Chain A
């Protein structure tokens, strides 16, 4: 099974900050990496697919990069509505797997 490790598990940031979340796979997953945002009491929302492709309707301040085993989600200028938990997910091999999540909180 492919294990996904996210870091940090939580972070505090201010509106306008640049935020970076990393995700590492236990083996190469090419670019089959997705990022989701989840707010309390809500279903996850797809932000980025195939490591760097922006899902339709997602603001351009979100971007993804990486391939192989190391990936990054960047929020260029944090907005109030971005405070949430973010998950990476590999869709390279079954069982698919999620990272443990990164909670982005208000500083």
Chain B
């Protein structure tokens, strides 16, 4: 069974760093790209960026470039999303999802990680 399992909810203060994870199982991890999607409270879906775990090639939306980093560890089938300095506006649900390649839809999604940033 294909699964993407995300790390648990986080509560952080502005300025703190954070790394959340997404672990794939039940498929060949390196053959699917992993995307991160943000959903702010009560709002729609926003594409943040993606990574090809086979070579760690990544691409970001300009809206998120420079504020987050996406990385992968193939040895443990895990992709990460990290911030070096959180803002209150980073409060959101974050989803990881897989796709077969550039033009493909996201066929499996993680359960989401809720990040709350508050002083």
Contacts and interface: CB of A to CB of B under 8 A. Distances in A.
The answer to whether A and B come from one shared complex is yes
Query: Chain A at the B interface: mostly helix, strand, loop or mixed?
Result: loop
A85 to B, nearest CB: 8
Nearest to A45: B109
Contacts of B37: 44
Interface of A: 1, 32, 34, 36, 38, 43-46, 48-50, 55, 87, 89, 91-92, 94-101
Contact of A98 (B46, B49, B62, B112): B46
Contacts of B105: 34, 36, 46, 48-50, 55, 89, 91
Interface string B54-97: 00000111110000000000000000000000000000000101
B45 A98 contact: yes
Contacts of B61: 94-96
B98 to A, nearest CB: 10
B111 A87 contact: no
B104 A49 contact: yes
Given A1-B62, A55-B107, A91-B103, A43 B95 contact: yes
A87 to B, nearest CB: 6
A95 B103 contact: no
Contacts of A99: 44
A26 to B, nearest CB: 15
